Amino acid sequence: MVGECLEVLSRRGYTSTILLVPGHPPRVCKAFNQDSVDDLFPVEKAVYERFAAQNQPPSILKYDGVRESIPAGLILEYAENGDLHDYLWQKEHMGSPRPDSGLLCRWARQAAEALESAHSLGICNSDIHCINFFLDKDLNLKVGDWAGASIDGSISLSSYRLRHRLFDADGTDVPRSTGITAATEIFALGTALYYMVTGHDPWPELREPEDREEIKKRLREKEFPDMSGLSVLADVIKRCWHVEFASMTEVKHAISVETALISPNALEEL
C-alpha cells in the first residue's frame, strides 16, 4: 500500500478490504482485492461518480474519490456502527432491546430513499441486503456496496441472496432470467425490511444449502411467513413481496404513511 499502514476494519467477502483512513472526520478506503480490480472496482467507481454528480441523498454513502496510494481504493464515508445485519445480530444475541418502531421506520424510509434515487439515475443495487446497509454514529442508515450494480440495464456482476430473490409461479428465477429490475429490487427490499424488523431472515428454521429447494418452493408459491405479530411495516413488507408497488417512490410513500400513523411528528425527524 505504498508506505501506508491503515487499520483494517473488515473484509467484504473475497472482493475487498475496508481500511480506516484517519482524519476529521475519519473516512474509510474500500480497497478491492486483485481478483476484483478489473470488474467490480470500475462498476462501483462509476456508480459513486454518477451519484456524486447529482444531488444524492444522505442515505447513500458519500464518495470522496480514489485514494492516491491505493489505485483500486474508493474513499467513502465512515459508518461508525458498521452494517445493519451485524448490528441487529448482536442486538439479538446479546439480549439488548430491539430497535423501536420509530427507528425501524426511519431505517426503512432511508433505504427506500437511497434506492429510489439510484433507480432515478439508472442504477439498481442488485444485492439488497442488510449487510449492505450501514449505520453512522447517529444510527442513520446509508446504502453502500454498489460493486455488483446494474447500470443502465447492464448485466449485474452480483445478485441477491436466495431469500431476497423474486420467483415466478412457474419457478422462474426472475433476476436470472430477465435481469435486475425495479420489481426484483422491491422484492429484495421486502426481505431486507423483514430482517430489519424481526432480526432474522424468513424461515430461520430452514438452512442453506440443505433446504434450498424448500426455500425456493416457498418463494415460488408465495408462502411467506405470518406477519401478524410484527411491530411495524408488515403491510409494506407484504406488498413488496407480492410486488404491489410499481416503484421505490411508492414504497417510500407507503413507509412514510405508516410512520405518520405511528407518530404524527415522526416525519419531521426523518
Start and end residues for every CATH 3.30.200.20 domain found in the chain: 7-77
Residue 149 belongs to what H/E stretch? none
Q: What is the pLDDT of residue 141?
A: 99
| C-beta of residue 63 within 8 angstroms of C-beta of residue 49 | yes
Cell triple for residue 11? Answer: 473484509
Start and end residues for every CATH 1.10.510.10 domain found in the chain: 84-269
Kindly indicate the confidence band of residue 93, based on its pLDDT and cuts at 50, 70 and 90. confident
Q: Which residues pair with 17 in a beta bridge?
A: 11, 31
Average pLDDT rounded to a whole number, residues 46-66: 97
Fold adopted by 7-77: Phosphorylase Kinase; domain 1 (3.30.200)
Location of C-alpha cell 480497497: 31
Pick the CATH number of 84-269 from 3.40.50.11540, 3.40.50.2300, 1.10.510.10, 1.10.3720.10: 1.10.510.10
The yes-or-no verdict on residue 2 having pLDDT over 50 is no
Residue partners of 239: CB distance under 8 A and separation at least 6: 190, 245, 254
The yes-or-no verdict on residue 164 having pLDDT over 90 is yes
Per DSSP, the three-state class of 190 is helix
Who has greater pLDDT, 10 or 122?
Answer: 122
Cell triple for residue 10? Answer: 473488515
